Amino acid sequence: MPLLITSITKDEYDQVAAEKVVFSQSTGWADLRALNGYRSDYFAVHENKKIVGAFMVLIKTKRLFILSITAAYLPRPSFFFAANRQEGISDILSFLKLRYHLVVVEYNYPHWIKDGPGDREWQYIVAQQAKNAGYITSNAHIQPDASIIKFVGTDNIYDSLASKYARRDARRGLRKSQELGITYQMHESLDDMDLERVEQLMGLIAESRGFRTRNASYLAAFQENVPGVRWFTAEYKGQIISATATIKDTYSNTDYSIYIGYQNPLPEEIYLTYAGRVYILETLQKEGVEYYDQWGVSENPKSPLFRLSETKKRFGGDIVHYPKQLIGSRIPGMKYLVKGLSI
């Protein structure tokens, strides 16, 4: 029986999709992206008179040469509540192509599905469905195209680190922290002064490694709008010296590490990154969270992510590659004109 896709309101979407989609498909994420000029549309997917999926679309009006086009961007949708479902993806992609001038999709990989397809197999499945719907693929990405996902499980966190050197440095970091009085904490939110400090810490990393940073007002909106945001901090003499913003996602039972900033205030190496990461992993383990997603790695030495990626690998986990960006348009030739361009 063919799928039926209907437009629904924001409130209706919250009712049918709450805790059934990943955070980047939530209304809170849409509210955050509204600060960057996006509007949002919401849809339900029906089959046999039942809602079997839902998705959110971010929209911008873009100028392309002399044209004004409606560009739709879908950040990490699964489309179906059964996230590893393969049938029907092309039907939804075809629907979107008819509704908007331009459609850009960065598809999810359901790492939390037990016995699901591997990431390479999933890439192939999505690419074939996209081809059937008249889409092309692009190596350009708005969200990271790969990540490291670690199963937290019930094993000893130190033993689960990737090498004996990582385990050694994590223990050194904990010992140094105890000697110096550095404390590690989790916060549901930070006040304005602390967010300004986090902005400074993030800026230091951005300056040294060529990253894009976020200001305190954006971080305030981030923690206000997006469900599941927490802050893991390290504090020394009353000042935050390390902060990691994560999102605890109920649907995928995954904690996503989104933003990080740190500064060693001492002339000696204190292995702050290692001790702080172990604190995060031990906290997630106590909460029963299954996966820790380090949100973005690159194996390209020319990428600003490369050096940080090498550090992330030391904490263990599997590198996961997401499907390539999908581009579709009902306007002849449009998908080729915009390939590689950001929306």
pLDDT means per 10 residues, the chain with 343 residues, are 92 94 96 95 96 96 75 93 90 95 92 89 93 90 86 87 91 94 96 96 80 90 96 96 96 93 85 92 96 88 80 90 91 70 55
What per-residue confidence (pLDDT) applies to 342?
54
- pLDDT digits over 183-237, tens only? 999 999 999 999 999 999 999 887 777 677 899 999 999 999 999 999 999 999 9
- pTM beyond cutoff 0.85: yes
Question: Over the Cα atoms of the chain, what is R_g?
Answer: 21
Give, in order, the Cα–Cα distances in Å from 138 to each of 90, 165, 182: 17, 38, 45
What does the domain layout of the chain look like in residue ranges?
4-142+323-337, 147-320
For the domain spanning 147-320, the CATH number is 3.40.630.30
CB-based burial label for 322 (10 Å; 0-12, 13-18, 19+): buried
147-320 and 4-142+323-337 share a CATH fold: yes
Homologous superfamily in CATH for domain 4-142+323-337 = Gcn5-related N-acetyltransferase (GNAT) (3.40.630.30)
Question: CA-to-CA distance for 80 and 87, rounded, in angstroms?
Answer: 10
User: What's the pLDDT at 65?
Assistant: 67
**Which residues touch 101 (CB under 8 Å, ≥6 apart)?**
69, 70, 71, 329, 330, 331, 334
Burial (Cβ within 10 Å: 0-12, 13-18, ≥19) of residue 148: buried
User: Could you give phi then psi for residue 60, rounded to 5 degrees?
Assistant: -135, 150
| One-letter amino acid of 75 | P
